[in-house]
Chains A and B, each alone.
Chain A
């Protein structure tokens, strides 16, 4: 499954996600400080940093699950609406995969993947189901299609969540710490799916702690701490030559284990 016109990301590719001077406060806490970020079509951007740095919040502002105090967010050139049908439309074009999977517990796996294409995009049941089975096959859980989420392992549930996001043919997918709630032996299967998505040219914004994965898959690493973007670089450059002290400390504290 191919997501881009050409197989490579070109420097002139249109920006899918643009954040300009985004600021956010939680009460008196300044959680996002003047964030500016551009994600081009087909790019895989990985955001890393210590907890409390605001990376999850940043991810969630992109589809307005969190509001911003000032600044601008654009999806594929359109400013992010504040409410209503237009916002719902834009949300349907940006997929999201959550740390706690958030599958709908009362629906089967197949229904979980088909419900949004049917109810939001207006697809026919037949078409949606056929596509859903393809996607489930692609992520490796097609044999579980008639089960309910509680019967699946964490890794399987997360892969279904990815299929659910893919079923909407999104322009980009946001990943908010997708493997943080998984047992170690299941992290690999989810990361494999994400790697293959990246290879096929999907635009991805990933918040994660998995450094090896980031090094392999990312086009760009964003390092955040205390609500600001401190470093932005290619993976090789960042991991071998971190430029700020905070980044150096962070990488050291991870290698120590």
Chain B
């Protein structure tokens, strides 16, 4: 098994001395590890990585949700410049590749004298991108409301805030449950970006590349991470479907 070593040259050493190098093929001549060996040596690291991934997912999604609500409010308000700004934000962050954004944050910002920790960069990338999609889903949820219902509420004498509280927000949220569930899973998948920067503790994806550069973890090392990701995704999906069934609005 002779995988050629391809070390990617670091683009530039930063003033702080941090280098960023991408990992490559496995070292020569290591023992192939089976599942029991893997678990004894790396079992606790897998658990740590799982918790890291979960934590990152929860933080990112919460941030994405809050930012998404703020952007939706901006996009809907009657102030044209703010509307355009909100739409512009959406177009940037739903179309930019995660890797490109992360590279900009980690590599390019220091040239503007903004140096953020690796974790912060990852968190920003994994929050801003889902936030754009969150706003899109909330808008779609709002668009399921028949405009006539807003008029009816107005004709009954409800003020703007009452209309938002009684009609718009409940219906928008209840109609977006499935989309937001998918977004939570997508956020978890986006957190794999954390594997591209040195992070301690590692996330599930970073751990697989870590293991495979020190030993021959084979398919097993990959499968453990994959199954952990997958199971989380399925559980989230089930919970989301159940919630949606309860709160779904019949039309």
Contacts and interface: CB of A to CB of B under 8 A. Distances in A.
Given A105-B249, A119-B166, A150-B251, A98 B156 contact: no
A96 B155 contact: yes
Contacts of A98: 148, 151-152
A98 B171 CA distance: 20
Contacts of B174: 106
Interface residues of A, number: 30
A94 B174 CA distance: 31
Nearest to A65: B151
B156 to A, nearest CB: 4
Contact of A102 (B149, B171, B250): B149
Contact of B156 (A120, A150, A151): A120
Interface string A150-194: 110000000001001100100000000000000000000000000
Interface in A83-115: 85, 88-96, 98, 100, 102-106, 115
Given A105-B250, A106-B249, A92 B146 contact: no
B162 interface: yes
Nearest to B167: A104
A105 B152 contact: no
Interface string B150-188: 011111111100100011001100100000000000000
Contacts of B167: 104, 106
B157 A116 contact: yes
A41 B249 CA distance: 40
A56 interface: no
Nearest to A92: B157
A63 B170 contact: no
A102 B148 contact: yes
Contacts of B145: 105
A105 B157 contact: no
A88 B149 contact: no
Contacts of B157: 88-93, 116, 120, 168
Contacts, number: 73
A35 interface: no
A106 B171 contact: yes
Contact of A168 (B146, B156, B159): B156
B155 A63 contact: yes
A148 interface: yes
B250 A148 contact: yes
A104 B153 contact: yes
Given A105-B146, A105-B149, A106-B249, A91 B166 contact: no
Nearest to B162: A119
Given A105-B249, A119-B166, A91 B149 contact: no
A116 B157 CA distance: 8
Contact of A91 (B156, B249, B251): B156
Contacts of B250: 105, 148, 150-151
A151 B249 CA distance: 11
A53 to B, nearest CB: 21
A18 B237 CA distance: 58
B151 A102 contact: yes
A102 B146 CA distance: 8
A104 B147 CA distance: 11
A62 B162 CA distance: 22
Interface string B12-27: 0000000000000000
9 contacts: A65-B154, A91-B155, A100-B148, A104-B149, A104-B153, A105-B171, A106-B167, A115-B166, A168-B156
Given A88-B159, A102-B148, A105-B146, 20 more contacts: A65-B151, A85-B159, A88-B157, A90-B157, A91-B157, A92-B156, A93-B157, A95-B155, A100-B146, A102-B146, A104-B152, A104-B167, A105-B171, A106-B171, A116-B156, A116-B158, A119-B162, A120-B162, A150-B250, A164-B156
